[in-house]
Chains A and B, each alone.
Chain A
Amino acid sequence: MTRKQARDIIQVQIYREPNRVKKYDAIVVGAGHNGLTNAAFLAKAGLDVLLVEKNDYIGGATVSLKKHKDWVYSNCSYVCSLLRPEVYRSLNLAKYGLQVVPYGGSATISQNGDYLGSYVDPDVSRREMARLSPRDADAKVRFDRDIMRQCRFIRQFLLRTAPDPTSFKPRDLMEMFYMGKQLLNLGEDVIYDMMRLYTMSISEYLDEYFEHPLIKAAKAGSGIIGSAMGVMSPGTAYVLLHHAMGDVDGTMGAWGFARGGMGAIAQAMADCFEDHGGELLSGSGVEQITVRGGKVTGVALENGNEYQADVVVSNMTLPRTFLECMDQNDLEPDFIRKVKNFKIRGSSGKLNFALDGLPKFTALEDNPELIKGDLHLVDTVERLELAYDDWKNGSWSKDPYVDMLIPTLTDPTMAPPGKHFMSVFVQYVPPKVNGEDWTSDHRDQFGQTVIDKIESYAPGFKDLILHVEIRTPRDLEDDVGLTQGNIFQGELTMDQLLFNRPIPGYAQYRGPAKGLYMCGSSNHPGGGVMAAPGANAAREILRDMRKPKSVPEGWIDD
């Protein structure tokens, strides 16, 4: 089979058997997009790199899988905006076949049959908002400005290692100084606003701009995606920012599809990695990261094979790395306690549908523009908060928040013509049901809750379903390895961001043993298909090896 054919069937299985006695320069654990990024940068810098993956397919949560006939599902992550363009370019992902295509629009549909649409055309979008509230339509100018001000500040730190504020190393001091200088450049109002934005709830933050309930509900969704917090929980305003700071081709806040599904990103990264001589070994997970005398020595796989390297990079979550894949005797108790307390609560589920045709949402009246974008079914922030209450009570939301997309309206590669793949992200879904592990009955009931909700807005939807894959947080943990099913490898709250991510003292991608590094989204700057933690970790590793600089920092935006 040619590589192209392998890509066409998406599930790439590589059975090459590396030389057992050979010692690698570095072993990267986990072929999610950050592990791939990290491994690719290390290989590109000339290192002899082994990338090991527990599944027999690569990508982690950045994956395209065939679960039903000719349908390709982006069955975990489903849209792309945060992927750092600097990484895209530096790894030459375009050459390896990656195409990110922007999509426009979104609609938030209310129970009374109305909706708020967001359109590609800014004037149409403004008039649409003015249709509901002329005042809010004008307030959005100020809202967009304030969000953009904060995004500009954050974006410049995405491809930089967070400084340790307690360190007196010249590098940390200089980085603290740089950060302080950038902060002061913002001007006093923006600084005040920043402190508030990072600590407020998305609901309160939106109250400062908007009056119309549907407009607030439409904006609030991105404040809770991936977090086990409600729209009224402090800290959710930042989560909105995390979803707004990406771009497609420089259009900030825009989102796109990877052609061929999200797995196309992982596949391009893997092709880049192999093109630079990297070895990829899939199908067996790491049993243990081996340490001797405070130094890593390599990895032992579940299949019994062992591989040696002085550098081991874990793309696994913080708890999975240290609580499941290391001998606890190699770690300090205080460190273990902090890892155990790392906030990584699962809150999201996913339904992936193969559909026989295009669903018809009654309220949309066949609007051909809005159906191509994100669809939400919610009226008020209060309704979102009630959905969170169910999670707190140990159950999936009976009236869940959904973020639905039909990529096949944009991407012709994912389903036969006229048929569709529909991705439905769902919140809230707890890691355990009333304290018990998920059962298949629970999973079916959860799926039915979501399907019934969609059917009530799009009558006839059920008849279109050819196949559905229902993903609970437990599935995300079992299949992808995301602890508790948290899609960000750890929540994006102020207590575990920047120099406190994942835990204080370990924010510079170095683990507690010499030669041990961490490159997953548990690390700064966090989750989303961003590739920043992977790139930043590679930069630190190469720095420790005294290799020339080859990992890009962020492009300057003046």
Chain B
Amino acid sequence: MKAIDYSNKTHYRTKAFHSPFYSRQEPMNQLKEWGRWSDYLSPHAYSCASMEYFACRNACSVFDLTPMTKYHISGKDALAYLNRLVTRDVSKIKPGRVGYCVWCTDEGRVIDDGTIFHLSENEYRMCSQERHLDWLLTNTIGFDVSLTEETHEVAALALQGPTSCATLKQMGLEGVENLKPFGIRYFSFENTQLMVSRTGFTGDLGYELWIDPDHAEVLWDRLFEAGHLHGIQAMGDEALAMLRVEAGFIQAGHDFMPAHQTVRVSHTRSPYELGLGWLVDFKKPNFNGRKALLAEKEHGHRYNLVKLDIEGNKSACDSYVFTKNKKLVGTVTSATWSPSAKASIALATLEAPFGRPGEELLVEIYYQKELKWSRVMARAVVVSGVFFDPPRRRQTPAADY
């Protein structure tokens, strides 16, 4: 059954639908602070964003990612189709594996980023922040593929944090500890199939659980039963926003504008400008944006998306970035205090060639103390790695904590 249905004219009375997990989220959401994520209500925080953040870094947390856009792609040309669509070589994503990718316009401007799940031979799932049915169907011309949206047919939870594996084992998923990063495994669960992938948006040990919406509630219940002694906690999007910046993950609409929504052409970005040049593979067959990206690779790009480590403890949200000579070279797109790195961190877009690793810059931060605004020019340095990268993230078999 679909999680939501808006085939009836009366759908307008519901401005945001309940996720299949809502009956469990609602009593846990003590703050009653709901936001909207696409078609669904989504909690900003259940009780305290900071505690939810630490649950994820110290024990494990559960985040409802049902609202994420999902497409199912199958047919004998599925691989060829995806290889034309995205910039990386999809043939390297074997069955049972997941790959992060971006897809571009003919001009090599990023439409969105997302993950491709190779479910089985000739069968894929693609997940993204934005909706792309028109673009994806346009791209099917000439390919023997079937493409359908399955956003509302699949309920999904992210279980992230050091005790996530122990929790899943406790829930009876035998051998889940042997699942490698970006791997997929299927388990039989309550007379249905539960898909588990070792993926996530937190940069920690973690899993994403995919199930039909009818089994959403039982999955939630069993997970919380199993995680009870492992510190499990439900988590909202405020905590996730901190986690993903620590992990260095970019987000559409925050760190870049999806090309199909961007009115000002110069505000679109190429994969190179997002630091995703490693996802562009010119050795594979022709793909969307190839010609433009090849030219850009030769002639250089206009922007660099960088990670900044900023002195002091003031949040650098929405700040301008200057060179040491006070030349304006860019803006911060996402920023947070990192409780794990114990540093003020940010993602920023700078005009090329600024943003080389190790480069020292200044960030103009406006901050308020008891209603009085002040300004500081904080020193910042461009870092190349991610801000928090625990070995448990990649360790296989996964540890219990």
Contact = CB atoms under 8 A, between A and B. Distances in A.
A370 B12 CA distance: 10
B15 interface: yes
B133 A134 contact: yes
A8 to B, nearest CB: 37
A367 B132 contact: no
Contacts of A137: 131, 133
Interface string A92-127: 000000000000000000000011010101011001
Contacts of A149: 263, 265
Interface in B107-150: 107, 130-135, 137, 149
A187 B262 CA distance: 13
Nearest to B268: A187
A17 to B, nearest CB: 54
A121 B36 CA distance: 12
A141 B7 contact: no
B37 to A, nearest CB: 10
Contacts of A187: 265-266
A128 B11 contact: yes
Given A121-B15, A190-B265, A127 B134 contact: no
A513 interface: no
A48 interface: no
Given A139-B134, A141-B261, A187-B265, A119 B12 contact: yes
Interface in A367-389: 367, 369-370
Interface string A159-189: 0000000000000000000000000001101
Contacts of A131: 6-7, 9, 11
Contacts of A115: 9
A376 B266 CA distance: 38
A230 to B, nearest CB: 27
Size class of the B contact interface (CB-based, 8 Å): 20 to 34
Given A135-B133, A138-B132, A187-B266, A145 B261 contact: yes
Contacts of B238: none
A141 B363 CA distance: 34
A189 B12 contact: no
Contacts of B12: 117, 119, 124, 128, 367, 369-370
A148 B15 CA distance: 25
A218 B10 CA distance: 19
B286 interface: no
Nearest to B36: A123
Given A127-B39, A138-B131, A139-B134, A152 B9 contact: no
Contacts of A142: 134, 260
Nearest to A367: B12
Given A130-B6, A190-B265, A136 B134 contact: yes
B128 to A, nearest CB: 12
B11 A127 contact: yes
A334 interface: no
Contacts of A119: 12
Highest count of chain A CB atoms <10 Å: which of B36, B137, B263: B263
Given A115-B9, A369-B12, A123 B263 contact: no
Contacts, number: 67
A365 interface: yes
B62 to A, nearest CB: 25
Interface in B239-282: 260-266
A135 B265 contact: no
Contacts of A365: 9-10
Contacts of B9: 114-115, 117, 131, 365, 367
B313 interface: no
Nearest to B107: A189
B262 A145 contact: yes
A197 to B, nearest CB: 15
A420 B360 CA distance: 67
Contacts of B6: 127-128, 130-131
B178 interface: no
Contacts of A369: 12
B265 A186 contact: yes
A117 B9 CA distance: 9
Nearest to B105: A189
Given A138-B134, A149-B263, A124 B107 contact: no
A154 to B, nearest CB: 13
A367 B9 CA distance: 9
A187 B265 CA distance: 7
B134 A189 contact: no
A141 B15 contact: no
Contacts of B107: 189
B133 A123 contact: no
B16 A123 contact: yes
Given A123-B15, A130-B6, A189-B107, A145 B131 contact: no
B30 interface: no
B263 A148 contact: yes
B91 interface: no
B115 to A, nearest CB: 19
Contacts of B130: 141
Contacts of B260: 141-142, 145
B38 interface: yes
Nearest to B12: A124
29 contacts: A115-B9, A117-B12, A119-B12, A124-B15, A127-B39, A128-B12, A131-B7, A131-B11, A136-B134, A137-B131, A137-B133, A138-B131, A138-B132, A138-B133, A138-B135, A139-B134, A141-B131, A142-B260, A145-B261, A145-B262, A145-B263, A148-B263, A149-B265, A186-B265, A187-B265, A189-B107, A365-B10, A367-B9, A367-B12
Given A123-B16, A145-B261, 17 more contacts: A115-B9, A117-B9, A123-B38, A123-B39, A124-B12, A127-B11, A128-B6, A131-B6, A131-B9, A134-B133, A136-B134, A141-B134, A149-B265, A152-B263, A152-B264, A365-B10, A370-B12
Closest 3 pairs (CB-CB, A-B) = A139-B134, A187-B265, A138-B134
Interface of B: 6-7, 9-12, 15-16, 36, 38-39, 107, 130-135, 137, 149, 260-266
Interface of A: 114-115, 117, 119, 121, 123-124, 127-128, 130-131, 134-139, 141-142, 145, 148-149, 152, 186-187, 189-190, 365, 367, 369-370
